[in-house]
Amino acid sequence: MNGYGYLIVGIVVVAIIALLATNKKFVETLKNIYKIEELRKRILYTLGLLLVYRLGCFVVIPGINPNALGEGSALASQLEGNGLLGLLNVFSGGAFGNAAIFALGVMPYITASIIIQLMGIMIPYFQKMQREGESGRKKITWYTRILTVFILLFQAPSYLLNLKAQAAAALSSGISWTMFMIPATIILAAGSMFILWLGERITDKGVGNGISMIIMIGIIARLPQAFVQELGSRFTAISSGGLVMFIIEILVLYAVICASIMLVQGTRKIPVQYAKRLVGNKQYGGARQYIPLKLFAANVMPIIFAQALMFIPLAFVRYQSDGASSWATSLMDNRSLLYNVIYVTLIVAFTYFYTAITLNPTQMAEDMKRNNGFIPGIKPGKDTAEYIETIMSRLTFPGSFFIAFIAIMPALAGLLNVQQAFSQFFGGTSLLILVGVVIDTLQQIESHMLMRHYDGLLNSGRTRNGAVSAY
């Protein structure tokens, strides 16, 4: 059945490539991309570094027998039965389950960034650095990296202890776990820091946001296997309507993807009128512009914030289900009612929190007043700030629940008996990261092409104001 499933996947891929190859406009766009030397080099550079990352996901920690970690092992069963660990394996592109040198991925860096951002709100020293511009940003980046190293020194031994508990026989004979822990911790920490370096290089010399691209490629890498597993399970139950359920799954997945794109692109335009002024014989101003307030202003950060907090039970509770209490077991199961109630509450709270710290209505009102701009019918200054804040609140309320609904879609997909691996693509962080990063990358390619007077990939213009990054 697995071979049959892979055959179907191959046929689908070939069909998609054939359809794209027959699209003259798409082929012409690819030719235009190739003609732009800088853009061509950036794309090839990005693909090369992503290839390095994917190869690193299969390089097993020295001393570990990869055959002992395959399908049917205790570690594989743990990843299938534990929703949070399974999600972590998805984010790492399977490196977590392979005991690879990139097993910890970029999650420690994201956790450190969240902590630094929270400190920027509560601690005056970090607030001062945020106002220092480029120099302050460099200092914050340095503190984030240092905190990432400390987090890695905690997470790496935790990962190895779980590996010992689940697959003690995977360690080569003649090596004790006590002596193995120290070099393995260094290797795992170095692997995660190397991933960060790859992300920075992609951001500087490639296309798209580096960290976001690395997360996205790890998620996409798990899609074919998850698709084959789901296809196999449905074809096994074909006599009981498995094929119909699979078609329904695909239709639901398509609808969720469309809804996610609408969520990312949804904006409320506030008209701003600028007063006319004469400088010599020339007239300046007088034009009407718009302030685009996004329905999804916080991007994917609320889900990442909430997901990071939901990983906490993994640090304090034994991974084995028989050693944990019932409520702790529920918190580690992303399909349980308790987990999803807390998850939704955290997402709504973090949406309001992150929107408040990223958008400052008072500053926006002051900038408009300084540039002789005003909202028609609204007095400049305090009234303008209150008006913008009111609109932001009206957008944030439905937006927070909308994103929370998409976040729990994998759990809802479980009600249709969708496989754990495939259900992660029905919503949550995985889907929003995929949609956001793809749109962001296409926009950057579009900008390079438009600067050289070529038609881009997004002629409709619907995605030009909706850039979203996973991080």
Structure confidence by residue, pLDDT tens digits, 426-441: 766 677 777 777 777 7
Residue 186 neighbours by CB distance under 10 Å: 13
Residue 319, pLDDT above cutoff 60 = no
Residue 195, pLDDT above cutoff 80 = yes
Q: Confidence class of residue 220 from pLDDT cuts 50, 70 and 90? A: confident
Residue 149, pLDDT above cutoff 80 = yes
> Average pLDDT in the 178-183 region?
84
Class of CATH domain 240-471: mainly alpha
Mean residue pLDDT across the chain: 75
pLDDT (0 to 100) of residue 42: 87
Domain ranges for the chain:
1-35, 36-221, 240-471
Residue 240 neighbours by CB distance under 10 Å: 10
Q: Confidence class of residue 115 from pLDDT cuts 50, 70 and 90? A: confident
Residue 40, pLDDT above cutoff 90 = no
Identify the residue with better confidence: 451 or 202. 202
> Average pLDDT in the 199-215 region?
85
Structure confidence by residue, pLDDT tens digits, 16-31: 666 555 656 666 777 7
Q: Confidence class of residue 467 from pLDDT cuts 50, 70 and 90? A: very low
Mean pLDDT comparison of 124-128, 389-393, 461-465, highest-scoring range: 389-393
pLDDT (0 to 100) of residue 415: 73
Q: Confidence class of residue 314 from pLDDT cuts 50, 70 and 90? A: low
pLDDT (0 to 100) of residue 10: 60
User: Would you say the CATH fold of 240-471 matches that of 36-221?
Assistant: yes
pLDDT (0 to 100) of residue 83: 57
CATH number of the domain located at residue range(s) 36-221 in this protein = 1.10.3370.10
Mean pLDDT comparison of 47-51, 74-78, 203-207, 283-287, highest-scoring range: 47-51
pLDDT over 70, % of the chain: 75
pLDDT (0 to 100) of residue 194: 93
